[in-house]
Structure 1
Amino acid sequence: MVDVVITGLGAASRLGIGVDALSRGMAEVRYAPPEPIADPGARVPVPLFYRLPDEQLPPGPDEALGLPVGRANLLALDSARQATRSARLVPDPDTRVSVLIGSSVADVHVVERWRTDGYPQRSRWVPVFSAASAIAADLGADGGAVSLSNACSGSGYALAIGADMIAAGETDVVVAGGMETYSRVALACFNRLGALDPNGIRPFDRHRAGSILAEGAGCLVLESAEHAHRRGAPVLARLLGSGWSCDGHHATAPDPTGTQIARAMRAALDDAGATPDDIDFLVPHGTGTERNDATESVAMATVFGDRLAKIPLYSLKALIGHTGGASAALAVAAAVLFCQQGWLPPNVPVAEPDPDCPVLLPADRTPLPGRTGMVNAYAFGGNNMSLIVAGGE
């Protein structure tokens, strides 16, 4: 069995650019209420969105990469560069490097802006889902570049597929992750669905009323433990296993029985050679919508039984919002940090826990009995993904 390890991390969220910004923001519980998006075309009841300040955006890429200067692509490219730097990954003709990037809408906001403001006659057309190929060009990667669009679990699938490629000997190193930024159409769609909470995102709260969309990106470097050891790379954590399912219950609503979500979690445990008793913490999908949180709670109770009430959860979206296709990668990056430090940071306090969601969300820093965690990521259409992360060497 091939031991797949994580050797590099990169992140961008409303907390700032870089993994250190993510780590500090979680440790200090840097909560901030979402603000209305500065878009006169966003005529919607709930115009709230988490966005990085413009001055924090990384510089644009070289024109030779053929990358449209869109915010998601900028963040994805910068996160990939962060991850490869931390992994000490340098171009090597004998190393096959592949890139997999998940996103829901990528940089479609570029096209949306053209529609309202006019097409820039001097700009050539480029596809908005181009980050994977641009990152591959930037890294000199020749092992393949793939864009995934499994909605909000896209980067989870990118990580799982990347691990499978390494285990199958199809590539040596994978840069996998996801990206998301503001889209006027996406914001309108979530408003139309009634899936946004005007009071902010409140996962597992009794009075939760929806999610808050957010900008972000996350990338991780995966490789076999043998390959990492051979090149002297740091081993930050291990990706022990993954499991997925697709219930196809509804275009947007989860199957309320949670059957296929539980199946994905069990499959991840089986793939990792683990049992529910081996899990020390959970990073749930936890979008703050009434149905998602209730369904995920049912599924977790099915898998973990009465022990669920004793396993600490960390609700990342309560702090940084729902970063769509980037959310799973950022959650796994957070899980890697938890495995390294041996404790969970305080959660954003839940004002009134929902009795139908019997989960443990500590409001204080919580020591971990071990260093194995499960990360859940779900998406429209029933795209369910669970991943198991454990401490490194």
Structure 2
Amino acid sequence: MVAPAAVTGAAWSTALGHGLDAVWRRLLAGEHGFVEVASPHRLRNTLAAVIPPHGEGPALRLRRLAVETLGRALARAGLVADGADTRFVLGTSLGAWLDDARERELPLHTWADEVAREVGAREAPVSLSTACSSGSDAILVGAELIRSGAAEVCVCAGVDVLTPSKRLAHSALSTMSPTRPRAFDARHDGMLLGEGAGCLVLESMKHARGREAPLLAVFRGAGSANDAASMTSPDPAATGARLAMERALADAGVAPVDIGVVNAHGSATPANDRAEAEALRALFGAGPSPLVFATKGAFGHTLGATGTMEAIALILALREGVVPPVAGLEQPERDFPCPLPMGRPVRHEERLGLSLTLGFGGFDTALVFEVPR
């Protein structure tokens, strides 16, 4: 077990709004952010969860969402971007790269460099792209920088935007639902895309205590794996997802029985839901089952942003002692191994939770957080 990190700031930009508390109330009410978004292409579904206004190009949009979200997270933590011991770790899946000719002429990390400069960072950021696990991996990398002594503060963010290419690709792959997302429901038939940004500010415990920083949660550990089963499909045996969770628990120094809440990937594609259920069954089947919830039915699948957004949702669920209902869930799969909140929020008294992200290419990442009681 290695030293934990303090979570002292958080912010998100979502299709349900931007304020932590305001968005959380809408999640608890079972709301979603899907609206009709016109497309020049024939798609399985024209619904998407977008953040208004939606008129600017994807490259400008990606940068603006990142800058605004980073600024709010830093303000929440009571920090400035140009601190001597502060590093930025910024992740996206492909961001605007597929749909912007200028972006394709530049290295994929250019957007992150420009965002870091705009917020006033002293050094170039660490930039990463691990498909849908990019946001979770930004947190993992930030925590490792703190643990290694390379930084005292890490601003970890995942950002992604809706683009025509992503909509067309997921429609062609048949991962896009022709109806609505229904994670872990017997009628699940795919996901719908969204856009957003999420940011967590991590600090070494010594640094946070030294400045009497506000403590939102404690980052306890992380684990990752790659099952490499397919470019897009998960390993049906869920080996990578199980290993990622087991490694996260080992890193945090806790056992499966200690985890009370899980924020699942919950993409609502049949293949992903089955694999995730198998991983949860393998890890928690022998003991008490944690309460499992998912937010893609509300936010849409935000690709490179989903890991940070779901980490924030998990922290709020632990802090508030309540989990939101899984939007769209009406007929839970009979063999799902854990309790699911359906139709209404569910209260709990748990302190430890896990967030799991499953990305294309087999990128699986799990994060463990704790809140004081």
Q: Cα gap change, 1:149/1:55 in structure 2, threshold over 3 Å: closer, same or farther?
A: closer
Indicate if the aligned counterparts of 1:342 and 1:367 stay in contact, CA closer than 8 A: yes
Which of 209-218 and 142-151 deviates more? 142-151
Query: What stretches of structure 2 of length at least 5 have no aligned partner?
Result: none
Residue from 92, 99, 107 that aligns with 2:96: 107
Q: Cα gap change, 1:347/1:114 in structure 2, threshold over 3 Å: closer, same or farther?
A: closer
Residue from 115, 129, 144 that aligns with 1:164: 144
Q: What letter is aligned with 1:355?
A: R
Aligned to 1:72: 62
Deviation at 1:345, TM superposition (A): 2.6
Q: What letter is aligned with 2:94?
A: V
Summarize deviations over 1:156-196 as a string: whole Å, max 9, x none: 11100110010000111111111111121111111111111
Q: 1:273, 1:346 → 2: CA distance? A: 29
Is 1:335 paired with 2:314? yes
Matched residues, number: 371
Deviation at 1:136, TM superposition (A): 2.2
Is 1:96 paired with 2:75? no
SS at match of 1:54: coil
Q: Cα gap change, 1:143/1:272 in structure 2, threshold over 3 Å: closer, same or farther?
A: farther
Q: What letter is aligned with 2:238?
A: G
Indicate if the aligned counterparts of 1:68 and 1:126 stay in contact, CA closer than 8 A: no
Aligned to 1:323: 302
Indicate if the aligned counterparts of 1:242 and 1:272 stay in contact, CA closer than 8 A: yes
Q: Cα gap change, 1:329/1:84 in structure 2, threshold over 3 Å: closer, same or farther?
A: same
Aligned to 1:36: 36
Aligned to 1:293: 273
Is 1:82 paired with 2:82? no
Deviation at 1:112, TM superposition (A): 6.3
Aligned to 2:285: 305
Aligned to 1:207: 187
Q: 2:112, 2:229 → 1: CA distance? A: 30
Indicate if the aligned counterparts of 1:268 and 1:387 stay in contact, CA closer than 8 A: yes
Deviation at 1:152, TM superposition (A): 0.3
Q: 1:20, 1:133 → 2: CA distance? A: 30
Q: 2:4, 2:319 → 1: CA distance? A: 18
Is 1:365 paired with 2:339? no
SS at match of 1:11: strand
Written as runs of structure 1 = structure 2, the 5 A alignment for 1:48-63 is: 48-54=47-53
Aligned to 1:11: 12
Indicate if the aligned counterparts of 1:80 and 1:135 stay in contact, CA closer than 8 A: no
Deviation at 1:275, TM superposition (A): 0.2
Aligned to 2:223: 243
Q: 2:58, 2:35 → 1: CA distance? A: 26
Aligned to 1:119: none
Q: What letter is aligned with 1:305?
A: G
Aligned to 1:146: 126
Deviation at 1:353, TM superposition (A): 1.2
Q: Cα gap change, 1:20/1:232 in structure 2, threshold over 3 Å: closer, same or farther?
A: same
Aligned to 1:382: 362
SS at match of 1:2: coil
Q: 1:113, 1:191 → 2: CA distance? A: 25
Summarize deviations over 1:1-37 as a string: whole Å, max 9, x none: 42211110010111012323321221222235x3332
Q: 1:291, 1:112 → 2: CA distance? A: 34
Deviation at 1:214, TM superposition (A): 0.3
SS at match of 1:10: strand
Deviation at 1:111, TM superposition (A): 1.1
Q: 1:37, 1:133 → 2: CA distance? A: 30
TM-score (norm 1): 0.88
TM-score (norm 2): 0.93
Is 1:184 paired with 2:164? yes
Aligned to 1:62: none
Aligned to 1:281: 261
Deviation at 1:287, TM superposition (A): 0.2
Between the two proteins, what is the percent identity of the paired residues?
32
Q: Cα gap change, 1:114/1:48 in structure 2, threshold over 3 Å: closer, same or farther?
A: farther
Deviation at 1:110, TM superposition (A): 5.2
Indicate if the aligned counterparts of 1:73 and 1:106 stay in contact, CA closer than 8 A: no
Q: What letter is aligned with 2:90?
A: I
Q: What letter is aligned with 1:51?
A: V
Deviation at 1:144, TM superposition (A): 3.9
Deviation at 1:143, TM superposition (A): 4.5
Q: Cα gap change, 1:112/1:45 in structure 2, threshold over 3 Å: closer, same or farther?
A: farther
- What is the alpha-carbon root mean square deviation over aligned residues? 2.4
Q: 1:133, 1:386 → 2: CA distance? A: 27
Q: Cα gap change, 1:340/1:260 in structure 2, threshold over 3 Å: closer, same or farther?
A: same
Q: 2:263, 2:339 → 1: CA distance? A: 11
Query: What stretches of structure 1 of length at least 5 have no aligned partner?
Result: 58-66, 116-124
Aligned to 1:61: none
